[in-house]
Amino acid sequence: MKVDIDKREDKKKIKEDKLYKSAYELFTTKGVKNTAIDDIVKKAGIAKGTFYLYFKDKRDIINKLILLKSRNVLNEAIIKTKEANIDSFQNECLYFVEYIINYFKKNTLMLNLIDKNFSWSVCKFEVNKTDKYENIKAAIKKFIDNMMVKGMEREEAEITLFMVMELVGSVCYTSIINNEPTDIDTIKPVLYKKIIRMVNV
């Protein structure tokens, strides 16, 4: 009985992954506005009715896709930061931000889809529902613990983390996609100064 349930779950996961993959390819090549649900299911080779077993509508798959891609970027940046064995909390923060910036510079199609919605607070809410993202949970805890050691209250530490991520996401989008007010490499030194001030209380 358990084997049958596992097989059904595997099949459901495969279909969901196909829908995500197809939607991502279409959204990043044709654009969100020019992609219909019919296009997504046709590319995925899945019946249209099946789409609605996983998603309410096109906006739902967009939002879930943004969350999925954002979590993946965060997870990768956290792993790479840990592997770098950096000597201080401040330098870890800067390395982490540098990794995200470089990632988005290479993956502008993804950044264009995510828009300015790259938010740690949203991801935090989602990762708390599952054990799949232990790296992200550990990184959140580490950041908050470090800020509290410096004398911040927990709520202020959480808000600071939110502000850092909102700042990074917004600056990446505006400077990499729109080149405003200038390119990302010109902005980076100023961005790092602001982040250092935020984490060095």
Q: Which DSSP string do the residues of 66-111 spell out, in sequence order?
A: HHHHHHHHHHHHHHHHHHTT-SSHHHHHHHHHHHHHHHHHH-HHHH
In tens, the pLDDT along 58-117 reads 999 998 998 888 888 988 999 999 999 998 999 999 999 999 999 999 999 999 988 877
pLDDT at res. 136: 84
Print the domain residue range for 12. Answer: 1-55
CATH of the domain at 159: 1.10.357
Query: Which of 30, 55, 80 finishes a domain?
Result: 55
Output the DSSP codes for 107-172: -HHHHHHHTT---HHHHHHHHTT-STTHHHHHHHHHHHHHHHHTT--HHHHHHHHHHHHHHHHHHH
What's the whole-model pTM score? 0.86
Query: Are both 106 and 168 inside the same structural domain?
Result: yes
Query: Are both 17 and 73 inside the same structural domain?
Result: no
pLDDT at res. 7: 64
pLDDT at res. 71: 86
pLDDT at res. 180: 96
Query: Are both 172 and 108 inside the same structural domain?
Result: yes
Query: Are both 50 and 69 inside the same structural domain?
Result: no
CATH of the domain at 31: 1.10.10.60
In the structure encoding, which two tokens stand for residue 137, read together?
């949970």
Q: How many domains does the chain have?
A: 2
pLDDT at res. 6: 55
Q: Tens of pLDDT along the chain (201 residues)?
A: 555 555 666 788 899 999 999 999 999 999 999 999 999 999 999 999 999 999 999 999 998 998 888 888 988 999 999 999 998 999 999 999 999 999 999 999 999 988 877 876 556 666 666 667 788 888 888 999 999 999 999 999 989 998 999 999 999 999 999 999 999 999 999 999 999 999 987
Query: Which of 12, 36, 55 finishes a domain?
Result: 55
Q: Report how far residue 129's alpha carbon sits from residue 152's, in angstroms, rounded to the nearest whole number.
A: 26
